[in-house]
Amino acid sequence: MKKVLVVLAAAGLLAACSSSTTDSTPTSSAGSSTEPSTALINWAGQVCTDTSTLSTSITDIGAAVTASEADLQTSLSQQLIVIQEAAQGLASTVSAIPETDSSNADALAIQDSSTDLNAAVAVLGTSITDLNDASGLGLASALLSVGSAAAEAGQAAIASVQAIDTAIRDRSAAVGKAFQASPSCTELTADKQ
């Protein structure tokens, strides 16, 4: 029973994170057409690094699900903590965007997405704590709660990544140019040239 619930919880997170779709059409915002500062390029690089870290931590949940029955609760909890920390890192970085132009829709969308991601990650953290403390019949409820919270955090992460993707595609704004200029973002920007 525990194994089935854990697989469902993990599947919820993976389904949420794999349902991301992107539009291949570059956008243009009404934002500034100035060149990005070094601070903005460095910020974009850290966003790309944090996005990659989050993606890897979500992919690694498969190892937790295949853990032995005795270690399943601990293994899953530990991997969810890694995912939570990676999501917190991304949300923190995204919210610290330097020198935002209040007329730049891409920058504002990125900032808004970090607020939603922070809130979803906080709920995930609470559900992980409840899972760690659960036993007996409460374990099934805790696993379902983690699955639901993980799916919501996954959706918030998708929204954040989509906001970042939109900014990457906008080569007319400083934010999009910063992503294009950052060596850390090569993998994310390669298909958007």
For 98-145, the three-class secondary structure string (H helix, E strand, C coil) is: CCCCCCCHHHHHHHHHHHHHHHHHHHHHHHHHHHHHCCCHHHHHHHHH
Residues ≥6 apart with Cβ < 8 Å to 75: 63, 64, 67
pLDDT at position 117, please?
Answer: 87
Rounded CA separation 19/155 (Å): 9
- What is the chain's pLDDT, residue by residue, as a tens digit (193 residues)? 344 344 444 444 444 444 444 443 334 434 445 788 899 999 999 999 998 898 888 877 766 666 655 577 777 788 888 888 988 898 889 888 887 655 678 888 888 888 888 888 888 888 888 887 888 888 888 888 888 888 888 888 888 888 888 888 888 888 888 988 999 888 766 665 5
Sign of the Cα torsion 65, 66, 69, 70 reads negative
Per-residue tokens: 159: 């929204």
pLDDT at position 45, please?
Answer: 93
pLDDT at position 43, please?
Answer: 92
CB 52 within 8 A of CB 61: no
Q: What is the pLDDT of residues 114-156, one digit of tens each?
A: 888 888 888 888 888 888 788 888 888 888 888 888 888 888 8
Rounded CA separation 61/79 (Å): 6
* Full-model pTM: 0.72
- Compute the 3-state secondary structure of the chain and give helix, strand, coil in percent, each to the nearest 5: 80, 0, 20
pLDDT at position 65, please?
Answer: 65
pLDDT at position 19, please?
Answer: 43
pLDDT at position 42, please?
Answer: 94
Report the candidate in 51, 20, 26, 3 with the shortest Cα–Cα distance to residue 167.
Answer: 26
